[in-house]
Amino acid sequence: MSAGLLILIKFTLLSGIVLMYVALGGCFSEHSGVINIALEGVMVIGALFGILTLCTLPKNLPGFLIVTISILVAMISGMIYSSLLAFASINLKADQTIGGTALNILATAIALVVVKHYNSTISPDAQSPKLNFDNSLFIFNVGPFTLNVFIILGIILLIVSHFVLYKTRFGLHLRACGEHPQAADSVGINVYKMRWAGVLISGALAGIGGMAYIVPSVQDWNFEVGVGGMGFLALAVMIFGKWNPGYIFLGSLFFAVFKSLANIYDSTFLANFHLTKEIYSMMPFIASLIVLMFTSKNSKAPKAEGIPYDKGMR
The CA distance from 116 to 157, in Å, is: 33
Residue count, binding to another protein (CB under 8 A):
74
Sole binder of another protein in the list 5, 68, 127, 193 (CB under 8 A): 127
CB 286, CB 265: distance < 8 Å: no
Which of 219, 296 has the CB closer to another protein?
A: 296
Sole binder of another protein in the list 117, 144, 267, 269 (CB under 8 A): 117
CB 207, CB 43: distance < 8 Å: yes
For residue 12, give the nearest of 245, 207, 251 by alpha carbon.
251
CB of 2 to another protein, least distance (A): 28
For residue 235, give the nearest of 37, 77, 100 by alpha carbon.
37
CB of 267 to another protein, least distance (A): 17
CB of 170 to another protein, least distance (A): 6
For residue 135, give the nearest of 212, 222, 46, 226 by alpha carbon.
212
Taking every pair of C-alpha atoms in the chain, what is the biggest distance, in angstroms? 63
For residue 63, give the nearest of 131, 145, 156, 136 by alpha carbon.
136
Check residue 204 for interaction with another protein (CB under 8 A): no
SS3 259: helix
- Segment 56-85, which members bind another protein (CB under 8 A)? 84
CB of 43 to another protein, least distance (A): 14
The CA distance from 244 to 180, in Å, is: 18
Check residue 183 for interaction with another protein (CB under 8 A): yes
- Segment 247-286, which members bind another protein (CB under 8 A)? 274, 276-279, 281-282, 285-286
CB 43, CB 210: distance < 8 Å: yes
CB of 65 to another protein, least distance (A): 28
Sole binder of another protein in the list 153, 185, 246, 268 (CB under 8 A): 185
Which of 116, 162 has the CB closer to another protein?
A: 116
Sole binder of another protein in the list 236, 256, 261, 264 (CB under 8 A): 236
CB 72, CB 104: distance < 8 Å: no
SS3 245: helix
Contact pattern from residue 147 through residue 176 relative to another protein, giving x for each residue in contact according to CB under 8 A and a dash for the rest = --------------------xxxx-xx-xx
Sole binder of another protein in the list 116, 130, 162, 242 (CB under 8 A): 116
